[in-house]
Homo-oligomer: A and B are copies of this chain.
């Protein structure tokens, strides 16, 4: 599949295409033109055609896109046809929220274990997933073929934990700690910095003529 040379901006938009196509599929829609998709997603039809052309183009002139096929293909490009085993570091409210998303499993992301520094949580379960002490991370990761770790702990704790995760072979980190993690280039990090998102909202409120951020 020709996915080299795709810009970061296009990749950023792919999950949104996937979401809309999934909804259309659920509604029983079989095909859609770039124009209709454009109105639905509030982006230009030419952007849609350009974006989807990156992947060889799934549209047929005069017919439009086959919703189900395009959904599946974008899913494959995003790696959603593969199973990922996850662990969660941090069983606070945010961690609990993340462990509780049943939707992630539908996409192939399976939460296998939760780790927390609080000894009182040891042996407890979150949505059926056992909470374990931090020192058990390396063995658990190796035994359970874990490839993604979700970090939802304060930033001072996140830095040494990331080091441990890298040492035991984690391939991807979904980082909710308010710090940019330094990892080798072979380890992928996707950060969600919530307070930065709130600041961007604040910016648009202060500068309402600037542009919508959605």
Contacts and interface: CB of A to CB of B under 8 A. Distances in A.
Given A80-B202, A210-B11, A178 B94 contact: no
A111 B24 CA distance: 36
A172 B204 contact: yes
Interface stretch (A45-53, A60-68, A114-122, A190-198): A190-198
A210 B6 contact: yes
Given A3-B207, A14-B199, A204-B172, A214 B190 contact: yes
Given A211-B8, A212-B185, A199 B78 contact: yes
B82 A200 contact: no
Interface string A1-37: 0011010100110111011000000000000000000
B200 A190 contact: yes
A89 interface: no
- What size tier do the contact residues of chain A reach? 35 or more
Which of A19, A92, A109, A171 has most chain B Cβ within 10 Å? Answer: A19
Contacts of A11: 200, 203, 210, 213
Contacts of A92: 97
Nearest to A196: B15
A214 B194 CA distance: 14
A147 interface: yes
Given A172-B204, A190-B214, A199 B18 contact: yes
Copies in the complex: 2
Contacts of A80: 199, 202
B204 A190 contact: yes
A94 B196 CA distance: 17
Interface string A169-197: 00110110010110001101111111111
A69 interface: no
Given A96-B97, A174-B198, 15 more contacts: A15-B199, A15-B200, A16-B193, A77-B203, A79-B206, A79-B207, A80-B199, A84-B205, A98-B194, A104-B195, A107-B199, A174-B201, A188-B208, A189-B213, A192-B197
21 contacts: A4-B209, A6-B210, A11-B203, A11-B210, A14-B199, A14-B203, A18-B199, A41-B180, A78-B203, A79-B205, A79-B206, A80-B199, A93-B94, A94-B97, A174-B197, A180-B214, A186-B208, A190-B201, A190-B213, A191-B214, A192-B194
